[in-house]
Amino acid sequence: QQQVKQSPQSLIVQKGGISIINCAYENTAFDYFPWYQQFPGKGPALLIAIRPDVSEKKEGRFTISFNKSAKQFSLHIMDSQPGDSATYFCAAIPKYNFNKFYFGSGTKLNVKP
Amino acid sequence: EAQVTQNPRYLITVTGKKLTVTCSQNMNHEYMSWYRQDPGLGLRQIYYSMNVEVTDKGDVPEGYKVSRKEKRNFPLILESPSPNQTSLYFCASRRQGWSTDTQYFGPGTRLTVL
């Protein structure tokens, strides 16, 4: 059973548009929520991360919004570019064991020129 | 250059033939981990290691073994591979102690078990 549910499975956005990927969880012990970006043929790479004590974190065009009460968090990519085309994974790490990672199922983003 | 390397990158084998996928990192990281990536399931953690001789199960450890005899290496062993272990495998490393530290992934090993 997937502990972190991610949607949509795939996403097509026009260049300059906003890409939004959503994740939801049930386990209230999750304490850290990273997002990873994966290009074809490569391993995932950390993009941005957030802790549940803040509602938003922004790094350049990438923003995480976090809703602790709803147990949901989302990645927003502003001014999406063709170079952002990749697969994105959300993840969650529990406070009782920060060695365990639970990933979402991934979202394949295609930004059309 | 700081990196995680995996070998082989591609492997086709037959059911029951023991195989080892190697993983090595040059960042002196204490923590290393193995994941498998399958369509629609994302990445699932197989095993992780907090340091030399210290390993623990992830979410999907069945059918896999690991060992950590040296800090830089963390091989994944499939003693009797089966077709349901056909997958894309990633090794990763990180400094131990802080969940917020970046986890670095290797380039992946695509395994096909016939």
Residue B42 near residue A103 (C-beta atoms within 8 A): yes
- Nearest-Cα distance to chain A for B78, in Å, is 21
Strand partners, B55: B49
- C-alpha B82/C-alpha B114 separation (Å) is 8
Q: What is the pLDDT of residues B85-94, one digit of tens each?
A: 999 999 999 9
CB contact under 8 A, B99 and A102: no
B101 interface with A at CB cutoff 8 Å: no
| Number of Cβ within a 10 Å radius of residue A113 | 7
pLDDT digits (tens, 9 = 90+) for B4-52: 999 999 999 999 999 999 999 999 999 999 999 999 999 999 999 999 9
CB contact under 8 A, A32 and B48: no
B72 pLDDT exceeds 80?
yes
How crowded is the C-beta side of A46, counted as CA atoms within 13 Å?
A: 17
**Side chain identity at residue A102, one-letter code:** Y
Give the dihedral sign, CA A24/A26/A27/A28: positive
Over chain B, what is the mean pLDDT?
Answer: 94
Other CB atoms within 10 Å distance of the CB of residue A56: 11
Closest in A42, A93, A101 to B107, CB measured: A42
What 8-state DSSP symbol labels residue A83?
Answer: G
What is the DSSP pairing of strand A19-25 with strand A30-38? unpaired
Which residues 6+ apart lie within 8 Å of A53 measured at CB? none
Chain B residues within 8 A of A31 when measuring between CB atoms: 99
| Gap between the Cα atoms of A54 and A46, Å rounded | 19
* Res. A2 pLDDT band, cuts 50 70 90: confident
pLDDT score at B96 = 73
* Selected residue of B29, B99, B102, B110 to mutate for chain A interface (largest A Cβ count, 10 A): B99
- Please write the tens of the pLDDT for every residue from A5-44: 999 999 999 999 999 999 999 999 998 999 999 999 999 9
Q: Backbone phi, then psi, for B9, in 5-degree steps?
A: -85, -30
> Over 70: is that where the pLDDT of B100 sits?
no
Residue A44, preceding peptide bond in cis (omega within 30° of 0): no
Interchain CB contact of B59 with A (< 8 Å) = yes
Judging contacts by C-beta atoms under 8 Å, the chain A residues touching residue B59 are 100, 102
Q: Please give the C-alpha separations between residue B107 and each of A40, A41, A60, B10, B66, in angstroms, as whole numbers.
A: 10, 7, 26, 11, 19
CB B64 within 8 A of CB B45: no
A105/B42 CB distance under 8 A: yes
User: Which chain A residues contact residue B50 at CB under 8 A?
Assistant: 99
Whether B44 sits inside 8 A of A103 (CB atoms) is: yes
* pLDDT recorded at residue A1: 72
pLDDT of residue B99: 60
For residue A105, give the nearest of B33, B41, B105 by CB distance: B41
Residue B98 has what pLDDT? Answer: 61
The model's confidence at residue A60, banded by pLDDT at 50, 70 and 90, is: very high
